[in-house]
């Protein structure tokens, strides 16, 4: 909606939300001025809002492609360093980060495992400064890494400096059983993107679409209970967006990019798709193509309010179990 950072805080406060997560500190202050960033933190505290922030991808392959020329691990570290200082100036103890997007796994120039390995080198080089600043990077389930791949990456890093940003809706896009994935990742979670999702069958396999929390096919009470049990007091940050995404699971080549995929995980995802199809047939769930005919500006506030209402009604009960 084009809100300034201060207007975003006002929006959150006015609409009864607990806090805001920003993309990166330079969104709050382009010059990364420590005094202005510290003032923004003070403003959030005065309004009773939590404040979270992110960081650009540390994947050298991705950054090289964006820059149009190769970047070494050391160059990526230098490029990220000002934002790390900005995160510290904001008084944040962790920052969301992502390795790639939903396309990077399938790129032919550099295989996905090599991208993850290159990212590991950058994160390892960043670790001493993260420890000096008392910061952790929370690696997101960003429709890039599977839950298993993320755990493997974390096991090679210093646990004092790294954790997880759990995006609940994205798990289906990497063919993860959502309940199993959250159970595995919950102890590592520092930050969240809470959204629901639906699936629909297509000639190529499945399509995916985000939905307001509690109105899709994800077993949200089960997922939230796992998070609350493992990480009491964890901020639950709502993230919603338009668009449908293709998951061509009927194509062997596409599936070959998931070498560790188990039949149990794929079956769990397909089962949710079947449940969606049943609800489409009975008229209790709108098909994705119908929803996408509604302009995003005509549904974003309603989706946000619906998600907030669901979390307000469900989380207190789960926290008392």
pLDDT for the residue numbered 213: 99
pLDDT for the residue numbered 321: 83
| Per-residue confidence band for 118, with pLDDT thresholds at 50, 70 and 90 | very high
How far is the C-alpha of 216 from the C-alpha of 113, rounded, in Å?
32
Statement: residue 257 has pLDDT above 90: yes
| Per-residue confidence band for 63, with pLDDT thresholds at 50, 70 and 90 | very high
Residue 123 phi, psi dihedral angles, 5° rounding: -65, -35
Statement: residue 10 has pLDDT above 80: yes
| Residue ranges of domains in the chain, CATH in brackets | 5-196+211-243+298-319 (3.20.20.150)
pLDDT digit string, tens, across residues 168-226: 999 999 999 999 999 999 999 999 999 999 999 999 999 999 999 999 999 999 999 99
pLDDT for the residue numbered 157: 99
pLDDT for the residue numbered 1: 75
Statement: residue 234 has pLDDT above 80: yes
pLDDT digit string, tens, across residues 73-110: 999 999 999 999 999 999 999 999 999 999 999 999 99
Average pLDDT rounded to a whole number, residues 134-161 = 99
| Per-residue confidence band for 155, with pLDDT thresholds at 50, 70 and 90 | very high
Computed over every residue of the chain, the mean pLDDT equals 98
């Amino acid at each position: 909606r084009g809100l300034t950072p201060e207007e975003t805080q006002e929006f959150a406060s006015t609409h009864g939300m607990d806090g805001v997560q920003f993309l990166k500190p330079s969104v709050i202050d382009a010059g990364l001025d420590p005094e202005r960033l510290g003032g923004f933190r003070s403003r959030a505290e005065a309004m009773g809002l939590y404040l979270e922030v992110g960081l650009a991808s540390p994947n050298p392959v991705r950054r090289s492609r964006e820059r149009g020329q190769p970047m070494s691990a050391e160059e990526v570290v230098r490029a990220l360093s000002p934002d790390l200082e900005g995160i510290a100036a904001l008084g944040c103890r962790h920052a969301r980060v992502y390795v790639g997007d939903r396309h990077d796994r399938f790129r032919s120039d550099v295989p996905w495992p090599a991208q993850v390995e290159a990212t590991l080198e950058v994160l390892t080089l960043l670790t001493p400064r993260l420890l000096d600043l008392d910061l952790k990077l929370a690696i997101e389930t960003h429709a890039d890494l599977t839950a298993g791949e993320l755990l493997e990456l974390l096991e090679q890093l210093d646990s004092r400096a790294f954790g997880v940003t759990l995006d609940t809706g994205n798990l289906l896009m990497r063919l993860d059983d959502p309940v199993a994935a959250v159970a595995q990742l919950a102890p590592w979670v520092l930050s969240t993107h809470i959204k629901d999702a639906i699936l629909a069958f297509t000639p190529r396999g499945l399509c995916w679409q985000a939905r307001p929390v509690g109105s899709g096919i994800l077993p949200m009470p089960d997922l939230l209970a796992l998070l609350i049990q493992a990480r009491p007091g964890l901020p639950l940050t709502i993230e919603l967006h338009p668009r449908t995404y293709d998951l061509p699971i009927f194509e062997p080549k596409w599936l070959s990019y998931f070498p560790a995929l188990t039949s149990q995980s794929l079956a769990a995802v397909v089962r949710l798709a079947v449940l969606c199809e049943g609800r489409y047939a009975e008229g209790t769930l709108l098909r994705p193509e119908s929803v996408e005919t509604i302009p995003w500006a005509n549904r974003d506030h309603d989706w946000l309010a619906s998600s907030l209402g669901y979390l307000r009604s469900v989380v207190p009960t789960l926290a008392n179990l």
